Structure 1
């Protein structure tokens, strides 16, 4: 039984949905409606009943005969039925008839339609896969499919009700802010999305900032390493995929991005996710941000971590109880900030710019002796140096060679070996000969206090 759509390889730009019509004739057993359940459950007939996706195996008799139904079969003739099946149908006064199934454009999947439209040499690897960000489907079409990009976009839009906009990544990348340029293939020219990840809401203009939904697992992996009392300096924060979830966990965060659009949406997301007391946004060069972060937190500390926040209802009750009894903070279930020292120490740096983050590592040399200080107070505060989580690419595909390559480049930039708490994590393959890694290591003390 051929349920595939009719072939129309003449289409290229305009999608004519009306030509996707097909009639398929199948064998059916006309039976009294009361016997339907018995036949469907019988061992003798069960294996002959039609089980095609989106096609009902039992339908009302289109001839209009009162109280009759058709059980659709997947065999072409009565002779293909077993003797037991034929006996069962006879016992229930079944009549074998032809039934016509009418299919249209709505029946077939996006891949079915594209298989009927694209040239035969392009059928392998039909581009129906895409990433979803909010209401936007984001494709990365190979050049051979570009002549058919508009029709591909229309089919994907049709077949995915939650998608309102379909875009394709253009090869060139913005050199300064590193976001992908894109073109509209189908749907609304609306690029401002609301995306949900890690129980957080992110609003941003997908055409002006960098976002990759495929990195959700990596965002979550790294944040899971953070302790709630940490102070995190996010050097290339984007719109907040690390900063916002970290703050929701309890971390204090300095979040920075050079792209003014990213910094703007980062500030919006900080407010939307109710973490304004824990995240400070900035828009400056990453190297300047690294050099200033240590002293910014020293001179303007974050409040201490007080444990998980109570629910709003419980928080209101605690506030009323304190006001009513004028109790001290020691008597409160949720202690006041004055009972714990403020957070003055940056414990982690996140550098999520894999194309060039390694080039910024030289900014850590002498990071604790800038501003005409000798670092005496910092030497006492930092009994443990901050962890650095730096993303990068390598063309070495073997893990041992990849680690050697990345270590060599890190140590060349900071001018010192990395030996403490070193970890190398493969994030994903981005090309046949290019992998993305996260290298984590503790900043060597001689580097931080280098003159």
Structure 2
């Protein structure tokens, strides 16, 4: 425990809170040191020895004793990485620090570091752990996302080598392994938004389910059936584990394989289809339409976009349906300068 010596006010417990408020109003209270109890007295730290006038004001309320005493220091609360690293990095580098990062359970993830910061990545990782005391690991995403399952690669820059954790979104527990399946906490609000629209009795096809985030949000809320499909067997195994650790009302049916392999068994079965594969979803729009019931349904379509109107126009040009209606469109998250992940919700009635 770190101790710090300085002037203090010693006061009887019965009047201590009133004196503390007065000291705050007089700009005397020292919030960098802790208030302690000593028998029938409270010891309140102050910033300096009070003037005679200030002491008279205090003593008009109660008898106090001004003493010099060591008290435990409060751990400084930092607001951001710049505050933590001020004095530890060259000043010009502070402006290059990432303004955003992800906290996934007890893992911190930094998406990108300026090349000038790379020699200091270990210091930055430790600073993030200081800023968020629950973190056990800090990872830096390295290289481009590629491969069949599109799983990012990470480098441990602080803490233990750890990639799996339990993360919570709106009360939904998610078991995550960042080495085995893709996950982004930046879609939590979107998971919740879509789930809030699903009604009891609906059948939902989640075409690119990942670890099952959309499916779990839905099944936790309502008595719906969700077909959660993913080509990555590790992701599907995580869906199964996540079903076990959540109390769900609905039914989740995990399916492993290319979504096109399920075209026959899911044809005209769905009230709602989720297409969260923003880089490629447009190529699957006809398949999604084949899943929608003859009476019509809802499609949640995700894409990367630099121009929302262009993306909407491209989507509409691909729709081979009796009728459609765009019911919602918005930016979900920024993925690079001037490029966003967007969502377009549309109601459709197939031929």
| TM-score in terms of structure 2 length | 0.82
| Matched ranges for 1:192-211 at <5 A | 192-211=164-183
Task: Measure, in 2, the Cα distance between the counterparts of 1:125 and 1:51.
Answer: 33
Offset at residue 215 of structure 1 (A): 1.3
Going from structure 1 to structure 2, the CA distance change for 1:209 and 1:27 (only over 3 Å counts) comes to: same
Task: Measure, in 2, the Cα distance between the counterparts of 1:38 and 1:108.
Answer: 23
1:51 and 1:57 in contact (8 A); partners too: no
Task: Measure, in 1, the Cα distance between the counterparts of 2:253 and 2:40.
Answer: 71
1:44 and 1:88 in contact (8 A); partners too: no
Q: Which residue of 2 aligns with 1:169?
A: 141
User: Are residues 1:346 and 2:270 paired?
Assistant: yes
Task: Measure, in 2, the Cα distance between the counterparts of 1:69 and 1:194.
Answer: 42
User: Are residues 1:254 and 2:227 paired?
Assistant: yes
User: Are residues 1:56 and 2:34 paired?
Assistant: yes
Q: Which moved more, 1:40-49 or 1:405-414?
A: 40-49
Offset at residue 412 of structure 1 (A): 3.1
Offset at residue 405 of structure 1 (A): 1.4
Greater C-alpha Rg: 1
Offset at residue 438 of structure 1 (A): 1.3
Task: Measure, in 2, the Cα distance between the counterparts of 1:38 and 1:133.
Answer: 40
Question: Structure 1: any 5+ residue segments left out of the alignment?
Answer: 1-20, 61-65, 299-344, 369-377, 397-401, 447-451
Going from structure 1 to structure 2, the CA distance change for 1:38 and 1:258 (only over 3 Å counts) comes to: closer
Match of 2:315 among 404, 410, 424: 410
Task: Measure, in 2, the Cα distance between the counterparts of 1:131 and 1:154.
Answer: 15
User: Are residues 1:86 and 2:59 paired?
Assistant: no
Q: Which residue of 1 aligns with 2:346?
A: 441
Going from structure 1 to structure 2, the CA distance change for 1:38 and 1:438 (only over 3 Å counts) comes to: closer
Q: Which residue of 2 aligns with 1:395?
A: 306
User: Are residues 1:181 and 2:160 paired?
Assistant: no
2:165 and 2:176 in contact (8 A); partners too: yes
Task: Measure, in 2, the Cα distance between the counterparts of 1:47 and 1:253.
Answer: 62
User: Are residues 1:40 and 2:19 paired?
Assistant: yes
Task: Measure, in 2, the Cα distance between the counterparts of 1:269 and 1:38.
Answer: 48
- Greater strand content: 2
Q: Which residue of 2 aligns with 1:317?
A: none
Offset at residue 211 of structure 1 (A): 1.1
- Partner secondary structure for residue 294 of structure 1: coil
User: Are residues 1:264 and 2:264 paired?
Assistant: no
CA deviations on 1:191-220 (whole Å, 9 max, x unpaired) are 222223343332231222111112111101
Q: Which residue of 1 aligns with 2:87?
A: 116
| Matched ranges for 1:348-427 at <5 A | 348-364=272-288, 367=290, 382-396=293-307, 402=308, 404-415=309-320, 419-420=324-325, 422-427=327-332
CA deviations on 1:367-421 (whole Å, 9 max, x unpaired) are 38xxxxxxxxx9xxx451232111112112xxxxx2x312211133335696335
- Partner secondary structure for residue 245 of structure 1: helix
2:20 and 2:44 in contact (8 A); partners too: no
Q: How many residues align?
A: 345
Q: Which residue of 2 aligns with 1:336?
A: none
Q: Which moved more, 1:147-156 or 1:424-433?
A: 424-433
- Partner secondary structure for residue 408 of structure 1: helix
CA deviations on 1:101-134 (whole Å, 9 max, x unpaired) are 7869x54647444112111112236448532222
Offset at residue 47 of structure 1 (A): 2.1
- Partner secondary structure for residue 121 of structure 1: helix
Q: Which residue of 1 aligns with 2:109?
A: 138
Offset at residue 363 of structure 1 (A): 3.1
| Matched ranges for 1:65-80 at <5 A | 71-74=44-47, 76=48, 78-79=50-51
1:270 and 1:276 in contact (8 A); partners too: no
